[in-house]
Amino acid sequence: MTEIKAKRLKPHENITSVKLGCYYVAYKKDNHYALSDSVKVNFAKKEVSSEDEGEPANNELLVRVKKIIPPDIVEVEAIDLDYVVELDYPLIGSFKLTDVGRKETIIGRVEDIIQTSGPTLFSLFDGSGVLTLKSFAGPGIRAFPNISKGDYVKAKVLLKSREGVLEAEVLSMSRLDAREAKSLASKLDKIFNEQAKPKNVQFMVDSEILRSLKPRMHKSATLIRTSIIEGRPIILRHHADCDGYSGAVALERAILPLIVKYGNDVGAQWRLYRRAPTKTPYYDYADVTKDISSAIEDTARFGKKDPLIILVDHGSSGQNLLAIKKLRIFGAKVIVIDHHFPGEIKDGKALIDDFVDAHVNPFIVGGDSNLTAGMLGVEIARMINPNVKQIEFLAALSGIGDKSECNEFEEYKKIAANAGYSYEFLQKLSKVIDFESHYLRFIESRGLVDDLLGAKQQELVELLTPDITSREKAGLNAALHYLSKKELNGCLIASYKVEEVCEHNDYPPPGKLSGLVFDYFKNSYKSVIVLGIGDNFITMRATDTLNIHALMDFLKQKLPYANIDGGGHERAGTIRFIKAAQEEVIALTNSFLEQLLAN
Ligand code: MN
């Protein structure tokens, strides 16, 4: 059954607002019915008296206009059917700074109430945006104590601005009646769903893996848009390497303008969004504890919602499970956008799938880590916000950082070249990102990172490239000089002691140095395996002869007391262990590799 939609005239509206054949809500006024202060109602068939059964308790009646008799009478028939009231109020999202000084009557749902030491702040959401309403009942005294969070209200307000942000002063405010509230609730749901829906954009490249991942990407984009619209804080955690930065910055560039738009407030991008780089290729327990602590504090102090955590370029493996489960206990939502091996895929699902709200990872659909987190981030960013700027080159940049080899990477390189980013420049930029992230460590540094991948990238690349090159040369020379080499069937195993070759905290760090040694030898041998040996870790880089995860499993089995752990990719990663086990790990790793290369 289709619902009847009835209009409710505003008190000042006159007969010119009434349309023939339309439904209106008539209300009782001094023993007569009326549509507004000036529009009186005559009943065509029968007069409705107060004795009539079924007269609505709230003195309202659905009527249909049969005849308009100027200047102030309409002839109507009473309709005994259920109806919804059409809502006709200006939308919050349509207000601009030029509207300051205007008085408006708006409706919406109270999303938040914050009591300051001065006025009470109500944030009102009407589906088009959020507006902060201020009401002062005395210093620190709660205004409108009868109105609570979640209520549907009508407010007469005076539009104002503060530091360039639109806000409003409450002139009067009351709860909507049940019928209007119901109508608003369903309208909000409809608008919300419409706005939360990701934009239908084509992928930048033709890719079967991306096509198969589309439902998961769509789900992630929906959740991110939903969180932005409902003012849920977002914490974006990412691996602190070139790929992690590329994916995270692409998403950031899509998210921040929307937070400002829907929050009606440039400050919202600082209150409702934080990006945090992490050195580990997994979501560390210390990090999750930090995130949860600050979220709980924000909820208590500012009435913020539980956060959405987005993990980029880490988060897929079972190693993240404890951290992710902890997040769930505290009500956070979790999205993982990653290309690290997520463990065995069963029935098209990875282990962490049951514990996160969305998980995008090429391994789930038969792909591999060549499709980088940066590429996934760029494509999801475009679904979140089709107007996102300056992200096309990030996909190619991430591929360079993670040494991708696939058709998609070739396509992204072409796209970047067309946007003015030559392969040579991106190679330099990728090193600059690694270099900067080495010193930034866990600091967000939003402005610096934004400039590094934007306004100041040309200058920074020119400034830093010679220095990076000479540091890399120095590191490589030292490693090559003190390297132990073993050749087997035209294959090379090269190892060096990290503590003897790398200065603590200097650039290049051990993981990077293993990569440089690998690049130095890779064209001279059938296959190359480089081991940077530390007290309690080995950082590895290898050709496709070696699967680091297989070696890790082997070590776990042989040395169950050595706390073998680690992460990264199949050909580039780090295995960790306790110091006491170093000699055993080295001996077993050598025998594993020798056996591998002997075949
Ligand atoms: Mn990566």
Query: What are the pLDDT digits (tens) for 459-506?
Result: 999 999 999 999 999 999 999 999 999 998 889 999 999 988 887 778
Ligand 1 centroid to 515 CA: how many Å?
Answer: 14
132 C-alpha to center of ligand 1: Å? 40
CA 24-29-31 angle, to 5 degrees, is: 115
Q: How confident is the model at residue 100 (pLDDT cuts 50, 70, 90)?
A: very high
Phi first, then psi, for residue 552 (nearest 5°) are: -65, -45
pLDDT at res. 47: 53
Q: Which residues contact 38 (CB under 8 A, 6 or more apart)?
A: 13, 14, 15, 72
pLDDT in tens, 323-376: 999 888 888 999 999 999 998 999 999 999 999 999 999 999 999 999 999 999
Among 438, 440, 399, 432, residue whose Cα is nearest residue 417: 399
Higher pLDDT, 572 or 213: 213
Task: Evaluate whether 60 touches 26 at the Cβ level (below 8 Å).
Answer: yes
Which structure tokens are listed for 460?
């920074």
Write down the pLDDT at residue 45: 66
Ligand 1 centre distance from Cα of residue 416 (Å): 19
Taking alpha carbons only, the member of 148, 111, 314 closest to residue 231 is 111
For residue 510, the CA-to-ligand 1 centroid distance in Å is 17
Gap from CA of 368 to ligand 1 centroid (Å): 11
The C-alpha atoms of residue 108 and residue 129 are separated, in whole angstroms, by 10
Tell me how far the alpha carbon of residue 104 lies from the centroid of ligand 1, in angstroms: 51
Q: Is the pLDDT of residue 51 over 70?
A: no
DSSP, res 480: H
Kindly indicate the confidence band of residue 49, based on its pLDDT and cuts at 50, 70 and 90: low
**According to the model, what pLDDT value does residue 58 have?**
59
Ligand 1 centroid–CA 51 distance in Å is 75
Q: Which two tokens stand for residue 395?
A: 């996909």
Ligand 1 centre to CA of 496 (Å) is 25
Question: Of 8-17, 205-214, 501-510, which has the strongest mean pLDDT?
Answer: 205-214
- pLDDT band with cut points at 50, 70 and 90 for residue 539: very high
Q: How far is the CA of 512 from the centre of ligand 1 (A)?
A: 14
- Classify strands 130-135 and 165-175 as parallel, antiparallel or unpaired: parallel
pLDDT at 189: 85
Is the predicted pLDDT of residue 126 greater than 70, yes or no?
Answer: yes
383 CA distance to ligand 1 middle (Å): 21
d(CA 129, CA 258): 11
- pLDDT at residue 530 above 90? yes
Q: Are 45 and 87 in contact (CB under 8 A)?
A: no
Asked if 187 and 349 touch (Cβ cutoff 8 Å), the reply is: no
**pLDDT for residue 301:** 72
Nearest CA-CA partner of 381 in 262, 275, 266, 247: 247
Higher pLDDT, 536 or 444: 536
Q: Are 217 and 360 in contact (CB under 8 A)?
A: yes
Measured distance between the N- and C-terminal CA atoms of the chain, rounded to whole angstroms: 73
- The half-sphere exposure of 516 on its side-chain side, counting CA atoms within 13 A, is 23
What per-residue confidence (pLDDT) applies to 54? 47
Q: Which residue has the tokens 């080495």?
A: 438
- CA of residue 403 to ligand 1 center, whole Å: 9
Tell me the pLDDT band of 380, cut-offs 50, 70 and 90. very high
CA distance linking residue 322 with residue 562, whole number of Å: 21
What pLDDT shows up at residue 494? 95
298-317 tens-digit pLDDT: 877 776 778 999 999 998 88
Centroid of ligand 1 to alpha carbon of 420 (angstroms): 24
Tell me the CA–centroid distance for residue 402 and ligand 1, in Å. 6
Cα 371 to middle of ligand 1, angstroms: 9
Please report which residue ranges of 161-207 form alpha helices under DSSP H: 178-196
Residue 543 dihedral angles phi and psi, to the nearest 5°: -80, 180
Compute, in angstroms, the gap from residue 21 CA to the centroid of ligand 1. 63
Determine the distance separating the centroid of ligand 1 and the alpha carbon of 273, expressed in angstroms: 22
Question: Would you state the pLDDT for residue 31?
Answer: 80
In angstroms, what is the span from residue 567 Cα to ligand 1's centroid? 12
Higher pLDDT, 541 or 114: 541
Cα 244 to averaged position of ligand 1 atoms, centre (Å): 6
Tens digits of per-residue pLDDT, 157-181? Answer: 999 998 878 899 999 999 998 888 9
pLDDT of residue 46: 57
- Percentage of the chain modeled with pLDDT above 90: 57
How remote is the CA of residue 202 from the centroid of ligand 1, in Å? 23
Q: Rounded to the nearest whole angstrom, what is the distance from the C-alpha of residue 549 to the centroid of ligand 1?
A: 16
Distance 558 CA to ligand 1 centre (A): 29
Report the distance separating Cα 506 and Cα 468, nearest Å: 11
Per-residue pLDDT, averaged over 252-268, amounts to 87
287-321 b/e with 16+ CB inside 10 Å = b?
Answer: bbeebbeebeebbeeeebbbbbbbbbbbbbbebbb
Please write down the HEC assignment for all residues of 14-56.
CHHHCCCCCEEEEEEECCEEECCCCCEEEECCCCCCCCCCCCC
